[in-house]
Amino acid sequence: MQQPASHGPPPSVISVAVVQFLGSLPLLYFCGINLWGAAFITHEVARSPLLLAVLGLPFLFGVIAVVTSVGLLRLTEWARRATLCLASLPICSCALFLILHHPQPYDILRPIGEILMGILAAISIWWWALFTRNSVRSQFRRN
Annotated domain spans of the chain: 11-142
pTM for the predicted model, two decimal places = 0.79
Q: Say how far apart CA 70 and CA 84 lie, in whole Å.
A: 15
Give the model's pLDDT for residue 2.
47
Q: Say how far apart CA 69 and CA 20 lie, in whole Å.
A: 6
Q: What is the pLDDT of residues 51-109, one digit of tens each?
A: 878 888 889 999 999 999 999 999 999 999 999 999 998 899 889 988 988 888 888 98
Report residue 104: phi and psi, to 5°: -105, 165
